[in-house]
């Protein structure tokens, strides 16, 4: 399964997700001079893949970093919350809220390179 994430630039998005979050680059296929099919996914089997879709129109560009009007958009589950929390800090990734303990586990909210909000849940 794929979820499309509108990005400003393919290469900067690939670098951010692979180098800072440790995602795996699954595919990077050139479809035309301006369009590529780029899939990244968190490590682990059965992970949903992100389709990094470069914004092509002014309307799409206006949505980069705010696809959901400021609401948490994506949820990243982890088996080692402390390790992943430390990784966010190490890479100077902005933590917006938390960490806190909820009924369903430990959670924090962080921003990706464009400002989309993610929950890290352990």
Instruction: Determine the pLDDT at residue 46.
Output: 67
Helix, strand, or coil (residue 15)? helix
| pTM score | 0.90
Quickly count: other Cβ atoms within 10 Å of residue 107's Cβ. 18
Contact 70, 21 (CB under 8 A): no
Q: Which two tokens stand for residue 115?
A: 């400002």
Instruction: Determine the pLDDT at residue 45.
Output: 64
Dist. CA 67–CA 53, nearest whole Å: 12
The residue among 20, 23, 22 whose CA lies nearest residue 3 is 23
φ, ψ of residue 62 in degrees (nearest 5): -70, -15
E strand map for the chain = 2-7, 24-30, 36-41, 49-54, 72-77, 95-102, 105-111, 117-121
> Residues in the chain with pLDDT < 70?
45-46
Instruction: Determine the pLDDT at residue 1.
Output: 82
Which residues, in sequence order, are CB contacts of 60 under 8 Å at separation 6+? 6
Residue pLDDT, tens place only, 12-42: 999 999 999 999 999 999 999 889 999 999 9
Instruction: Determine the pLDDT at residue 69.
Output: 87
All domains in the chain, ordered by first residue: 1-64 (3.10.180.10), 65-122 (3.10.180.10)
């Amino acid at each position: 399964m794929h979820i499309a994430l509108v990005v400003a630039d393919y290469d900067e998005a690939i670098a951010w997700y692979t180098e800072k979050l440790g995602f795996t680059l699954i595919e990077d296929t050139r479809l035309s001079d301006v369009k590529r099919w780029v899939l990244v996914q968190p490590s682990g089997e059965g992970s949903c893949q992100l389709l990094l879709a470069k914004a092509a129109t002014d309307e799409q560009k206006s949505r980069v970093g705010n696809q959901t009007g400021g609401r948490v958009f994506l949820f990243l589950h982890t088996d080692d919350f402390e390790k992943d929390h430390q990784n966010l800090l190490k890479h100077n990734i902005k933590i917006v809220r938390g960490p806190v303990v909820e009924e369903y586990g430990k959670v924090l909210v962080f921003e990706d390179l464009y400002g989309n909000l993610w929950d890290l849940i352990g």
